[in-house]
Amino acid sequence: MAFIADAMKTKILVLASNPSGTEQLKLNPEIRSIRDSYERSQKRDKFIIVPEPAVRISDLQRIILSEKPQIVHFCGHGSGHQGLILENDQGESQAVSTEALTDLLKILKNRIECVILNACHSHVQGKQINQHINYLIATKKEIRDDAALLFTKGFYDALFNDMTYKEAYELGCNRIHLELYKSNNSGRKLVPVYSEEKSDYIDLEQHEILLFLEKNPPNLIENDIPRSKDTDRKNIEVSQSPQESSKAKDLGEQMRGWFEALNYSFEEYEIWKENYFEWIINVPGRRRYDRILVRGVAGEANIKDFQELSDLVTEHRTDEGWLVAFRRVSNAVHREQQKSETNKIYCYTFDELLDDVAQFDGYIQWLTEEIQRRKIDIQYVPLACTKD
């Protein structure tokens, strides 16, 4: 089952770039700090880290396409409206325009959940990218090297311990506040930033320079909403996304394969949305329950998923509801599950679901009989043996 576990893990692609001719940043320590947080976490089996320590512009498309990450973390130089600074094939620094980077991530938005731009002045790119990516972290101004490193430590310590993106962001900022300001003379670390609200420049401390942007509402494609002067948008339902364009497609394929192997049958009810799918399945041979309404969620299962599933279980009169997350189930959902009076909603990651419901006795028996029928156990030499 190891290959399935890898497919279900959250992949973090770390893109670092410090071209010659630019100020040398502490990028290797930043990558190391992510690995250190990963190694210390008891939840590290849910994540994969892929570092790219010297990414070039010509590598960008290929790396993101081949790795298919859920989180893209860029660390390096930013130049505001000119874009992020990467290295070209001649080893020279070159800006990647906001429009080009936004277009790339827009095309790949169905898999990417969060983008972190840990570079100076990256809010320009961040606001554009956030139109297509649910969660975005950027900087309002230049950020000190030590502050950027502290944010990374705090962010990933939290993320690798089941915190949400927003909570991890807040703990990353708090890490800067805790460790960077050991002197009473904090004025030397203030940065002037223009405030549109105040129409003037205000001084920000380093932990206030980072910016968290959340797509509102998450996973809603604006182009899918029909617009009409005569139609109240509140009464318009977003059109159902087909299975092929759903972010939950991979999870659905994995779950359907396992459910069919376990001899679960499927009713006609099947819903595919951009970020989740729903089925009603029949589970044979159980003592109490038979009809199960399943919601599979591409990213993190949140309280909205739990509440909607509870209502659907009542509406369709199923015996149980299974909320299955690709990545993790939020702490708020677990708390709500414990408070639930009916206790008919069960929440899992996919691996947890298999551990809880899968019965492999029949498969093991079939596999044993097949090995004996084909005489594999007596005709083939184990690879660990040596020939005398």
252 and 170: one domain? no
Same domain, 14 and 152: yes
- Give dist(CA 40, CA 160) in Å, integer: 9
Tell whether 95 and 210 lie within a shared domain: yes
Same domain, residue pair 296 and 151: no
Cα atoms in the Cβ-side hemisphere of radius 13 Å centred on 80? 5
Same domain for 282 and 207: no
Q: Is residue 175 part of a domain?
A: yes
Tell me, yes or no, whether 28 lies in a domain. Answer: yes
- Give me the number of domains the chain comprises: 2
- Domain-embedded: residue 358: yes
- Let me know whether 210 and 110 are in one domain: yes
371 within some domain: no
- Residue whose C-alpha is closest to residue 168's, from 153, 181, 183, 182: 153
The predicted structure's pLDDT at residue 261: 76
For all residues of the chain together, what is the average pLDDT? 76
Statement to judge: residues 198 and 324 lie in one domain: no
Question: Does 156 lie in the same domain as 31?
Answer: yes
Residues 13 and 141 in one domain: yes
Give me the average pLDDT of each 10-residue run along the chain (388 residues): 58 81 61 90 87 85 90 79 76 81 86 87 84 88 82 92 90 87 44 41 55 68 40 40 75 86 84 91 68 91 91 89 89 82 81 74 71 75 56
The two structure tokens encoding residue 14: 């770390």
Contact 4, 41 (CB under 8 A): no
pLDDT at residue 107 in the model? 87
- The tens digit of pLDDT for each residue in 176-208 reads 888 876 544 443 343 333 344 444 333 446 656
What pLDDT sits at residue 361? Answer: 64
Residue 336 lies in a domain: yes
User: 305: which 2 tokens?
Assistant: 């998923």
43: domain CATH number is: 3.40.50.1460
Say if residue 164 is in the same domain as residue 308.
no
Q: How many CB atoms lie within 10 A of CB 232?
A: 7
223 falls within a domain:
no
Give the model's pLDDT for residue 201. Answer: 36
| pTM of the entire predicted model | 0.55
- 214 and 250 both lie in a single domain: no
Residue 161 within any structural domain of the chain: yes
Determine contact, residues 151/205, Cβ cutoff 8 Å: no
- 29: containing domain: 2-179+187-218
Residue 271 resides in a domain: yes
Q: Give the model's pLDDT for residue 262.
A: 78
* CATH number of domain containing 311: 3.40.1350.10
The residue to which tokens 């005398």 are assigned: 388
Q: Are residues 208 and 272 in the same domain?
A: no
Closest CA to 55 of 28, 101, 88: 88
